[in-house]
Amino acid sequence: MCIKKSITILILFFANSFIAQADYNYTISSEILTGTCDITLSTNFLSLDESEKDLLEQGYITNWKKITYSLSKCGIGPVNTKPTVFITGSNLGSSIPSVGRYLFTNNPNNDTTYTKGFGIILSSSPIPNWDVKYLIGENDAIDTQNGNSLYLATSCGNTTSCNNSASHQVGRLTAALTFNFEYR
């Protein structure tokens, strides 16, 4: 009886081994994205000291403040590109040709308590006088390979725009800058 039972179990084992198994269909999904980086700033809010209108109109740049940024969790971008940070924000744009794109300012609904003709500048170096080779304007790339310090200050632009005191108005000056990342 024991031999018969063993043979039956052995036959059932071999029979089950040769029975066809059902196919399994696995669905796998993914999303392909361009590599990116996280941008971190040393501060989320910066307050500049008051500036004197007369000094600004003489072409001085006042109230330099340093900020630092860092890039982390960087992916790999497309071939022949490098990590690039660029700035966007409201600026004086075409209202002051050649310098307006460097003068960032918010003036909600043309509020008369806000300045006119003045802005916040962003620079790679705390320069004493207006020099666009150091300034960072709307959509300009920031060189992420040469350090991580940037400088903010108050200005009315170059000598020509600063001498136009008829278009200047004192008041509050605010600017919202957005640091954007992409591979360029």
Residue in the structure block whose two tokens are 């108005």: 169
Total Cβ atoms within 10 A of residue 46 = 14
Question: For the chain, which residues make up each domain, given as ranges?
Answer: 38-183
Whether the Cβ atoms of residue 51 and residue 154 lie closer than 8 Å to each other: yes
The CA-atom distances, in angstroms, between 175 and each of 1, 99, 102, 103, 149 are 94, 16, 12, 9, 19
> Over 80: is that where the pLDDT of 6 sits?
no
> Over 60: is that where the pLDDT of 19 sits?
no
The β-bridge relationship of strands 119-123 and 83-88 is unpaired
Total Cβ atoms within 10 A of residue 168 = 17
- Report yes or no on whether pTM surpasses 0.75: yes
Cα Rg, the chain, nearest whole Å: 31
* Domain 38-183, classified CATH 3.40.720.10, yes or no: no
- pLDDT tens, residue by residue, 75-118: 888 888 888 899 999 999 888 888 999 999 998 667 889 999 99
Whether the Cβ atoms of residue 66 and residue 170 lie closer than 8 Å to each other: no
The CA-atom distances, in angstroms, between 181 and each of 24, 77, 82, 139 are 43, 11, 10, 11
